[in-house]
Structure 1
Amino acid sequence: MSDKKKINPLLKTGLELGPIVVFFVAYLKLREETFLIGGTDYAGFIVVTAGFIPLMILSTGILWKLTGHLSKMQVATLVLVVVFGGLSVWLNDDRFFKMKPTMIYLLFGGALGIGLIRGQSYLKFVMEEMMPLKEEGWMLLTKRLTAFFIGLAVLNEIIWRTQSTDTWVYFKTFGLTAAVFAFFMTQGGLLQKFALEEEKD
């Protein structure tokens, strides 16, 4: 197994968010277009999705090459992008790709929930190095994040089933990202309350 390597944070962020930004820009340019490929008409959304899949694979591969490590979350996200994006392109049906965030958040929320049932915080195993907390803090944060992920899954289902594709793309690109950022910003009190004090000599 490769050792983790440090890379420029801006480069790391670019590799993680770059494909999403490219998807958004490409969708804005091609959303009104229809492409005849192999005798079948494909909407711009499907064509952009087809381009997003290899771009996501490439960016994740570069990230792995540079860092020597991928988190379980990154691997799971890539797999779901390939599976649900591939189904959308293969069946020429955008609903599968729109369901992807639902599956991602249900997967993460379900995994954390299973840990809670077993009396464990799986979140601690993933983020302990970044946020050293007391056990009580990890359990509380995990409960909140589990509920948050389930809520995002439900919200994504409501948005894509009741709103236009334009609305869903804006929601996926900006709404979900802002929601995750806002969640962790609002946990400052918990992080301070349960933070482990550094041992002093």
Structure 2
Amino acid sequence: MAEKTINPILKQVLELGPTLAFFLIYLRIRDETFTFGGTEYTGFIVSALIFIPILLAAMAVLWMLTGKLSRMQVFTAFMVIFFGGLTAYFNDERFFKMKTTIVYGVMAGLLGIGLLRGQSYLQYVMEEFLPMEKEGWMIFTRRLCYMFAALGIANEIIWRTQTTDLWVKLETFAFPAVLMVFLWVQIYRLQQYFIEPAEAAKD
């Protein structure tokens, strides 16, 4: 199926909406306890389980409208389902919290492997949207690798030492905001490596 163009605002709603929904549901039921099959579950765990079908529904709509899902979106959905399942099976919210650490860790690891091979895997994914010289891609990839590693370490420290309330707020708003600002700053600082559209077309 060919990729289609959709309203960018709708695209953002479908991509970010499930996480915001998780946050709002958690705020609503965080102090409640639910019993299923004779087992008690906290509001956090129930919120995490409700988040899974919401995420899958949003991804299904996005795929129907655009004809495409990124590998990162598919990977994230798999991690949410897998660790959500472990969270429910063991009735232990730590599995869902460590999911974020593993996602960031895998991303840092993949980029790091590419760097060790003298390649920028980030370039393979983003070159079509951001034409740039190889040196620029290597710098961008190295910095993003460090950022993913830092976010993974931060998540691990936060969920182990802070309250669930704080972790949910940081997971929903702080981590994505930090990453977004970081990406924009890097794009601004790497402008000297940008390739003009006409020059890129010649290549």
Which range, TM-score by smaller chain? over 0.9
1:84 matched to which residue of 2? 83
For residues 114 and 3 of structure 1, what CA distance do their matches in structure 2 show?
31
For residues 26 and 105 of structure 1, what CA distance do their matches in structure 2 show?
24
Deviations 1:135-188 (A, max 9, x none): 100010000000100110000000000000001001101111111111012214
Instruction: Tell which deviates more after alignment, 155-164 or 57-66.
Output: 57-66
For residues 40 and 163 of structure 1, what CA distance do their matches in structure 2 show?
26
Deviation at 1:66, TM superposition (A): 1.2
For residues 137 and 4 of structure 1, what CA distance do their matches in structure 2 show?
28
Structure 1 vs Structure 2: percent identity of aligned residues?
51
Deviations 1:78-108 (A, max 9, x none): 0000001111012110000001111111111
Contact 1:50 1:85 in 2 (8 A): yes
For residues 119 and 72 of structure 1, what CA distance do their matches in structure 2 show?
22
Letter of the 1:123 partner, please give it. L
- 1:101-112 to structure 2, matched below 5 A, reads 101-112=100-111
Deviation at 1:198, TM superposition (A): 3.0
- Are residues 1:7 and 2:30 paired? no
Deviation at 1:34, TM superposition (A): 0.5
Letter of the 1:25 partner, please give it. L
2:93 matched to which residue of 1? 94
1:53 matched to which residue of 2? 52
1:182 matched to which residue of 2? 181
1:154 matched to which residue of 2? 153
1:118 matched to which residue of 2? 117
2:138 matched to which residue of 1? 139
Normalised by the size of structure 1, how large is the TM-score? Answer: 0.96
Q: Aligned to 2:180, what secondary structure does the other structure show? A: helix
2:72 matched to which residue of 1? 73
Letter of the 2:154 partner, please give it. L
Contact 2:84 2:95 in 1 (8 A): yes
Deviations 1:85-133 (A, max 9, x none): 1110121100000011111111111111111111111101111121111
Contact 1:137 1:190 in 2 (8 A): no
1:129 matched to which residue of 2? 128
Letter of the 1:37 partner, please give it. F
Q: Aligned to 2:148, what secondary structure does the other structure show? A: helix
Normalised by the size of structure 2, how large is the TM-score? Answer: 0.95
Count residues with an aligned counterpart.
Answer: 200
For residues 38 and 165 of structure 2, what CA distance do their matches in structure 1 show?
26
Runs ≥4 residues deviating over 4 A: none
For residues 79 and 115 of structure 1, what CA distance do their matches in structure 2 show?
23
Contact 2:131 2:197 in 1 (8 A): no
